[in-house]
Structure 1
């Protein structure tokens, strides 16, 4: 592997992005960009493609190290569906930079969008299509609540999409830079999916990291839109923390994360109460779960055991998957999957693929979802998904008040 000298900023890494098989990832640990595919992780021969993914990645990393790579890593994205193959490669070249924000930096305090650093001055250069529209999405929420009341489900996450068509196409590097600049504490990413498609976004949610023996997961569930008025913003945060509906939704996710991690860890600490965290667009309920990995358990083994959490799918998992397939009018693809990296020692960092989109030619498909429980209100869930679109729409320089 060719390691370039450390660069000053993540913006340096994004200059000229993308190149062949490029991947960009920025987290509180640092930022890096990879280029070229020395080796592609082969597809699975099993119908449940995620089941043997940790082994396939470990084998590919071992092969690369044996062939002379000094510090091989596997990078890329893993889709939502367990039957779909991942887009993971071992790159030829890695360049690194310092984190976008220091470990003690405060999250964004002002939810009002700044002057957009990306996007044409002529907003008529964009055409936005909703899939489904707000009314259809609200009806899907009502149908999901009926299933929950019938006992079929405890929670399901339903999403909707926006297709943003840009005259002349989208510039990936500047758009990713705009995402990174808007919320430097988010996990900003861009991954080549092949076929001219790029997955990009700025996720607030860490699925799991493994560093040596230390394991950290940070499930988020229960959300409220930010307000530009400081007093209203404070009230929304307090209401979220006190909300029985949102705390129930959050507890379902934390319990599932803990249950998935316990067999793979020798110790696990699960806080009894959630905390509030904020992004530029949203308040979230957050719990940081910490543990110690059992010998031989890699970051990807942890990630695939966790995926999908009730934060992006629901519970029970198979019933939620069935409801998603019936109520959402599209294949999620890589949305609500995971994106990240793993090295040859099994350390790695994987985040939940939300606040994201897939760019292809002149199209950029954006996604946002909301957790539906028995107390969910369809109008409120429409508003929540609209607020979650703001991460991407603000970076595009589009109006964000109604996500249109």
Structure 2
């Protein structure tokens, strides 16, 4: 049985740091709007995998759904009350120069995708890119600033010596199951915040969000699951606005694994139709997303089975003194290449702000 301890914020971080220095796997995370930190420590460097999502621990899955889902074994659980007073919040956002070559490349890629959508059965494709920046901050320092900066996001720092270190603050639920109830969201459409002004949504963003909602409703119907969808809401995530529909329902016994496989990847991170969009991404993105737009989260089995998974957005991979930041956007027939480029710049600020 794993050990369970309750410690102070500082003590938890100190233990996680020591685990990291010993090159042992760990994940430390915080749920949206919660004032509690959780850490799961694994005592060996074995890579464990899951397909049935019935074992306790923390799952980390890549975008490519043909690859295996990693399960971090919970040899030790630590919880701590969040103490926002003990860490410095750095509000200086460095002015990172725009990569002119990358701007030209990405806008050209978007323009070609728009033509493809206008002339084929492809309705939407999500195109992403990575950017590399130098940082002197440690993984723990970056995570501590993320939880202060983005209290409404799922914030995490995940490390395995055989895989690497990933850190993020994601606004998007993939699937939450507790007892026989489940929740998922259709999150799409993005506008950068401008002062106190509410966003003025265009048909492009509304259509993009509607495509995701319809896909999820149809996918659940295909599993024989009835759902209830909320009205479309405007929700904020850090410096960005999004459109969101919350979808709920009753899940049957042993359906969680099937639901996860059906939902991932969603049109919000891949496109519609899914098969054609995935094929287009593999052919045109020209880099490997790895765990960006995959999913991650905790599986609990006591006192009852509970699964809480999030889409891995607004994230970075930390390699020595550099951060690889991953950003992207949904392309439809109405997409403007310049605006899509600017959207990726806006999304990158979530992570740049804490580097």
Q: Note whether the superposition's TM-score is higher than 0.5.
A: yes
Residue of structure 2 equivalent to 1:69: none
* 2:253 alignment partner, one of 291, 295, 305: 295
Aligned ranges for residues 315-394 of structure 1 at < 5 Å? 315-344=272-301, 346-394=305-353
- The answer on whether the counterparts of 2:48 and 2:70 sit within 8 Å (CA) in structure 1 is no
Cα deviations by residue, 1:221-268 (Å, 9 ceiling, x for unpaired)? 0110012x32xx32xx1x12xx21111100111111122223446531
* 1:133 alignment partner, one of 102, 106, 116: 102
Q: Structure 1 residues 217 and 196, CA, compared in 2 at 3 Å: closer, same or farther?
A: closer
Cα deviations by residue, 1:36-58 (Å, 9 ceiling, x for unpaired)? 24695645xxxxxxxxx432x43
- Deviation at residue 360 of structure 1 after TM alignment: 1.6
Q: Distance in 2 between matches of 1:348 and 1:99?
A: 22
* 1:285 alignment partner, one of 235, 243, 246: 243
Structure 1 portions without partners, runs of 5+: 44-52, 62-72, 102-113, 397-404
TM-score (norm 2): 0.88
Does residue 1:81 correspond to 2:81, yes or no? no
- The answer on whether the counterparts of 2:26 and 2:72 sit within 8 Å (CA) in structure 1 is no
Cα deviations by residue, 1:182-206 (Å, 9 ceiling, x for unpaired)? 0111000111243361111000101
- Which region of structure 1 is more displaced relative to structure 2, 357-366 or 80-89? 80-89
Q: Structure 1 residues 325 and 193, CA, compared in 2 at 3 Å: closer, same or farther?
A: farther
Q: Structure 1 residues 187 and 313, CA, compared in 2 at 3 Å: closer, same or farther?
A: same
Q: Structure 1 residues 132 and 267, CA, compared in 2 at 3 Å: closer, same or farther?
A: farther
Q: Distance in 1 between matches of 2:100 and 2:78?
A: 38
TM-score (norm 1): 0.78
Structure 2 portions without partners, runs of 5+: none
Q: Distance in 2 between matches of 1:366 and 1:193?
A: 18
Aligned ranges for residues 148-227 of structure 1 at < 5 Å? 148-166=117-135, 169-195=136-162, 197-227=164-194
- The answer on whether the counterparts of 1:170 and 1:361 sit within 8 Å (CA) in structure 2 is no
Q: Structure 1 residues 132 and 200, CA, compared in 2 at 3 Å: closer, same or farther?
A: farther
Q: Distance in 2 between matches of 1:155 and 1:377?
A: 13
Residue of structure 1 equivalent to 2:203: 244
Aligned ranges for residues 101-120 of structure 1 at < 5 Å? 116=90
Aligned to 1:219, the other structure's residue is in SS state: strand
Residue of structure 2 equivalent to 1:105: none
- The answer on whether the counterparts of 1:118 and 1:175 sit within 8 Å (CA) in structure 2 is no
Aligned to 1:330, the other structure's residue is in SS state: coil
